[in-house]
Each structure stands twice: as C-alpha cells, then as structure tokens.
C-alpha cells in the first residue's frame, strides 16, 4: 500500500483530474458548481499553507536571535511587530466575531499610520528606480534598444503636459504609436504567451514538467 501511495504518478494524476474537471466545465458549460467548488478549495488550501511560510520565517529569525548573528536585533523587532499585529487583530475580532474595541483600534493604528506610510514608501521606489533605469540601462547598445528609447521619449512627450505645449505634433504621433503600432505587437506577444502557457500545462499533464512538485524526485 505504502509503495503505491509513494508513487510519483499520484500527484500528476491529481493535477490532471483537477485541471481536467475545471477545463471540461469551461468548454461545455456543464457542472459549473463542481468547478467553482474546486476553485474555492484553492483559497482554503492557500490559507492552510500560510503555516508553512510562518514556520520557515520563525525558524530563520529565532535561530538568528539565539545565535546572536549579525543584525539579530532586527529579527526581534520583526517578531515583536508580528505578534503585536496578530494579537491585537485576533483580540479585535476575526472571522465575523466581534472583539475588544481598543485592540481593534490599536490594530488599525498599526495598519493605517505605520504600515501605510511604510508601504507607500517602498512603492515609491518604482519612481526612483525608473531614473536608475534611464541612467544605467537606457544605453543604445544595439539598434533595437535605440528604437525602444526613441519611442519611449516620444511617448513621454505625449503623456507629460509639457509635451503638447512644446509642439502639438507630439500628441498625434504618441497616440498613433500607442494605439496602432503598440497594439499590433502586443497582440503577437499575447498569442505567444497564451500558447506557451497551454504547452506548459500539457507538459505537466504528460508528466514531463514536475518543477511544481519540487526537485529530488
């Protein structure tokens, strides 16, 4: 029995059956409730899997704190904020249950006034790194990069308010590039990506692609 259960085919069969049912429902319009149930499973399964990540992260930081490795105080700070948010969140009400108001307020404070500015700060690096890209990356190493950069400059003059003030002709050029030239190429890439994705699914069904199950098989 154990030998049968350990066989590598079982996960592949599960993969095939689950995705086969959803695809069958998609193409024929039959058994939509079964397909919806299966998609609903993935939400529950993902919630169960959070523990795996938590265990890894806790082990990582607890080991650092115990061994007093470099930067260990930061690990302690991380764990402190983790516990603060989790405990205040759970006490403040979870899963539709009402909790203690003060605790909920503290959770909201952490969320709104500590996390929100931190995360906007991290997100704002998208703006900063664009200039790194322009400075370090945007160099005409070959003809194709040159075309990309010229198009990019034209588009920037089209989108920025100042562009039309400099020369109104930037607007039709930018609009043509964006709506015609871009969407033609975009379609080509989309078709390729779609086909590649289905090919990968089929390779997984046939049992050739097993990366999603981990190595060492």
Partner 1 sequence: MLKSRNVRRSEENMEWVLIVEAVMMLLIWSFLYRESLFYRLGEHILIGIYLGFSIYMGIDVLLKRVFVPLLSGNVTVGLALSIILGFLFYTRYVKPVSFMSRWSVAVLTGCGSAVAVSGAIKAMIVGQLPQGSWFAEGITGFNNFVMSIATVFVIVYFLFTFKPTRLLKSSAKFGRFWLMICFGVMLGTFLLSNIGYPIGMAMKLLTPPALYVTIIAILLIAADALYRRIKGT
Partner 2 sequence: MAAKTELGRFPTADRVIFLVFLILISTPLVVLIGLPIPISESTRKSYELMNSLKSGDVLVMCFEMDVGAFPALGPGDMAALKHAFTMVKEKGIKVIIFGTYESGVKIYIDKILQETKEYWESLNYGVDWVNFGWIPGHETAMATFARDVHTACSVDVYGTPVDELPIMKDIKTINDVTGIWYTTYSSPDMLPRQWSPLEWPGLKWTICSTLFGTVSWLMPYVNAGSITSYVADQRGGAEYEVLIGKRGLGCKFMDAQSLGHIYGIALIIGSNVYYLYTHAKKPKRKEE
Partner 3 sequence: MHVRVFELVTFALLCLLIYLGIARAKKTKPYVRPFPALEHIDEAVGRAAEMGKSVHYCTGWGGLNDEWAPVTTAALAIMGEFAKACGKYGVPMRYSCIRSHIVPIAEDIIKFGYDTGGHPEMYTPDMVYYTSEEQRALMSAMMGYIMRERPAVNCIFGATKYETIHSVGTGAIAGSMQFAGTPRLYYLPIILCTCDYALIGEEVYAAGAVVTGEPHQLGSVRGVDFFKMIIIALIAISVILSSAGTDWFQRLIEFVAG
4 near partner 3, rule: CB under 8 A: no
Tell me which stretch binds partner 3 (CB under 8 A): 28-36, 88-96, 101-109, 156-164. 28-36
51 near partner 1, rule: CB under 8 A: yes
- Out of 42, 132, 182, 183, point to the residue binding partner 2 (CB under 8 A): 132
Q: Do 99 and 90 contact (CB within 8 A), yes or no?
A: yes
Residue where the block lists tokens 């899997």: 49
Q: Residue 98 — left, alpha, or beta (φ > 0 → left; ψ -120 to 50 → alpha)?
A: beta
- Out of 1, 3, 5, 165, point to the residue binding partner 1 (CB under 8 A): 5
Nearer to partner 2 by Cβ, of 87 and 145: the residue is: 145
159 token code pair: 């989108």
Burial class (CB in 10 A: 0-12, 13-18, 19+), 38: middle
- Which residues within the stretch 54-83 sit at the binding site for partner 3 (CB under 8 A)? 54, 56-57, 59-60, 63
105 token code pair: 């307020």
- Which residues within the stretch 125-144 sit at the binding site for partner 3 (CB under 8 A)? 125-126, 128-130, 132-133, 136-138
Nearest by Cα to 106 from 115, 97, 96? 115
Among partner 2, partner 3, partner 1, none, the one that 165 touches (CB under a kind-dependent 5 to 8 A) is partner 2
């Amino acid at each position: 029995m154990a030998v049968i259960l350990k066989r590598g085919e079982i996960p592949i069969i599960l993969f095939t059956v689950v995705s086969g049912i959803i695809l069958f429902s998609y193409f024929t319009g039959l058994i939509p409730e079964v397909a919806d149930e299966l998609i609903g499973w993935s939400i529950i399964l993902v919630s169960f899997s959070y523990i795996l990540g938590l265990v890894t992260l806790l082990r990582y930081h607890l080991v650092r704190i115990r061994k007093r490795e470099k930067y260990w105080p930061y690990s302690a700070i991380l764990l402190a904020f983790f516990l603060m948010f989790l405990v205040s969140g759970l006490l403040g009400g979870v899963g539709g249950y009402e909790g203690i108001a003060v605790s909920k307020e503290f959770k909201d404070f952490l969320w709104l006034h500590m996390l929100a500015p931190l995360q906007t700060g991290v997100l704002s690096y998208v703006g900063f790194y664009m200039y790194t890209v322009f400075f370090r990356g945007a160099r005409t190493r070959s003809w194709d990069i040159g075309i990309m950069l010229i198009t990019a400059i034209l588009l920037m003059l089209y989108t920025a308010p100042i562009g039309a003030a400099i020369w109104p002709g930037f607007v039709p050029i930018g609009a043509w590039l964006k709506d015609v030239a871009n969407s033609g190429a975009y379609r080509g890439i989309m078709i390729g990506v779609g086909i590649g994705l289905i090919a990968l699914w089929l390779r997984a069904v046939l049992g050739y692609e097993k990366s999603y199950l981990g190595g060492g098989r």
